[in-house]
Every structure is written in structure tokens, then in C-alpha cells.
Copies of this chain bind each other. A is one copy, B any other.
Amino acid sequence: MKELKERILRDGRALADDVLKVDSFINHQIDPLLMERVAEEFQRRFAHSGANKILTVEASGIAPAILLGRLMQLPVLFAKKQQPSTMGDFYISRSYSFTKQKECNLIVGRSYLTPEDRVLFIDDFLALGSTGMAVIDLCAQAGAQIVGMGFIIEKGYQGGHRTLLEAGVTHIESLAVIDSQENGQIRLR
């Protein structure tokens, strides 16, 4: 996705320890017009997925997921990192956040993920694939089927794409793939 790649090269910053800072337009401050075109691109790529539900995780996945849900007219479910007092029975799995350098829980209410669901998972980053693996686990617990996974940015050198393929996800789309970011230099595929 050309516009996204140009924006990453212009406004993204490669920090130490393989962290890519895109918080001026994706995951802290959000450019809603760029995000709308991200959603349009996901819609195009997953038009034939047969999804009946979009799943994401709080917080950075919510913006692209809700814009895609609006376009595809599908309900959007976001996994929570803490169990709110309003939640009844739930599924839970654990994920490792690369940028936060720690594990976190992903929690979904049982009534919102069922064997009838054909899930399209959307997130901002694919790095090690840990969140994706937790989502696979949540869907397996619920008996839901994953029909695709879409990521705004993939760190191509961190192996998450292969991890998710090997776990059985057949349709993965990343709108921009970072091949390397050594010495502060972002190289896109």
C-alpha cells in the first residue's frame, strides 16, 4: 500500500531494539484519513474471506477494525487485556507485547465468540506473532474459525508471518512489510 509505505518512511522512526515508532499517525495519534484508506485496502484484500465478524485487541487495533467493520458492515469484537466487572464467562489467553516487553492477558466474552463465527483478525503490528497465536487459541477455545489476519505493518524479519502460517492461518495480509531497520534506517519490502 503505497501511501502507507510513504508515510512510514516520512514519519516513522526506527528506535533501538527493533522498535518502530509510528505513534504520530497509527498508534497514539491517529490520522483517520490514512486509517480509512488502510481499512479500504483490508476490505479489498478480504472481500472474499466469508468473514462474519472482525476481531481485534485493545487498543491500537480498534481504529482500523472499526473502520473496516463499518465498510464491511460486520460486528467488531475487541479482546480486552483486563476483565471488566460487566463481563460474565470468558475465554482467556496470554500474549507477549514486543513494545511493552511483557506478557498480557487477552480476554473475550464467551457469548461474543462462537462456533458460528468466521473471524477476520485485524491488528496494527505483526512482529513475533504472539498476539496472533493468542487469538488462534481464543478462537480454538470458542470453536470459531479464523478466515484471515490483516496487519497494517509487519516486521518481516521477526518471523511472525511464518509462525502464523505454520499454525494454520491460510490468509495473512500485511499492508507494509519492514525488511530491516538497522542503524535507524527503515527498509521496506
- Among A75-83, A152-160, A162-170, A179-187, the stretch that binds chain B is A75-83
A32 CB within 8 Å of chain B: yes
The reply on A21 being an interface residue by CB < 8 A is yes
CA distance A111 to B29 in the complex (A): 10
Interface residue count for A (Cβ, 8 Å)?
A: 42
Query: Which of A41-49, A55-63, A131-139, A142-150 lies at the interface with chain B?
Result: A55-63
| CB–CB B73/A62 < 8 A | no
Q: Is A189 an interface residue (CB 8 A)?
A: no
Question: What chain B residues lie within 8 Å of A74 (beta carbons)?
Answer: 32
Instruction: Look across to chain B and name the residue whose beta carbon is closest to the beta carbon of A85.
Output: B99
| CB-CB nearest in chain B for A75 | B29
- A13-32 near B? 1/0 per residue, CB < 8 Å: 00101011101100011111
Chain A: residues with CB nearer than 8 A to chain B?
Answer: 15, 17, 19-21, 23-24, 28-33, 35-36, 58-59, 62-63, 66-67, 69-70, 73-78, 80, 82, 84-87, 99-101, 108-109, 111-112
- A selection of 7 A-B contacts at a CB cut-off of 8 Å is A23-B109, A24-B112, A32-B66, A32-B69, A32-B74, A32-B75, A85-B101
